[in-house]
């Protein structure tokens, strides 16, 4: 008791007290710390973006598909890839690193290409979509998030052993 207290002295007593109750000795798989700390915040933001993009795209497709079919389909695709990225980032399975790496790259390329197209060919993107205008409708989160995500994934690479 006093031993662990000494160790925990510089840490948080509240957290350690809560931890003691939930402590289990089952071995845990690790994904190299990818899904803890800042990574967990990144995953949470991905989750929110995945949900909002997918639901909004579905709504747009169901309600008014003919208005901007290309933009809406791209939004739906973006939403699906965000879902894949969220799950892959959080996963501890081998190979999930690679999957999240590709998913996040896909988003970065998507937001850059579609963002550029929406400026060059505004007629195709007259209606709001996730990636048009570099994600300005979503506070540029779709542009910034993949860059942070790639940096984070690069820092927590786990596929080198396989």
Partner 1 sequence: MIVDGFFIAGAILCAITVFLGILATIIRAYPDDFALVSVALLEVFLVVYGISAAIRQAGGQAISGVPWEFWGYFITALLIPALAFIWAVTDKSRWSNTVLAVSGVIVFVMLFRMEQIWDGAIAA
The contact set with partner 1 (CB under 8 A) reads: 10-15, 18-19, 22, 36-38, 40-41
Nearer of residues 14 and 62 to partner 1, judged by Cβ: 14
Give the C-alpha separation, 141 to 131, whole Å.
10
| 135 Rama class: left (phi>0) / alpha (psi -120 to 50) / beta | left
Give the C-alpha separation, 157 to 98, whole Å.
9
Query: Which H or E element spans position 136?
Result: none
Judge contact between 31 and 91, C-beta under 8 A. Answer: yes
CB of 19 to partner 1, least distance (A): 7
CB of 68 to partner 1, least distance (A): 29
CB of 37 to partner 1, least distance (A): 4
Nearer of residues 15 and 147 to partner 1, judged by Cβ: 15
Nearer of residues 33 and 122 to partner 1, judged by Cβ: 33
């Amino acid at each position: 008791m006093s031993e662990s207290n000494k160790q925990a002295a510089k840490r948080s007593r509240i957290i350690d007290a809560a931890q003691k109750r939930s402590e289990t000795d089952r071995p845990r798989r690790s994904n190299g710390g990818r899904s803890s700390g800042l990574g967990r915040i990144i995953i949470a933001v991905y989750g929110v973006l995945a949900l909002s993009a997918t639901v909004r795209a579905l709504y747009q497709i169901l309600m008014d598909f003919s208005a901007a079919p290309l933009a809406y389909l791209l939004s739906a695709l973006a939403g699906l890839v965000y879902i894949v990225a969220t799950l892959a980032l959080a996963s501890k399975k081998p190979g999930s690193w690679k999957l999240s790496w590709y998913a996040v790259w896909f988003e970065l390329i998507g937001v850059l290409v579609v963002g550029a197209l929406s400026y060059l060919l505004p007629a195709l993107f007259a209606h709001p979509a996730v990636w048009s205008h570099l994600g300005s409708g979503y506070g540029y989160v779709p542009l910034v998030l993949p860059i942070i995500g790639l940096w984070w994934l690069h820092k927590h690479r786990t596929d080198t052993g396989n």
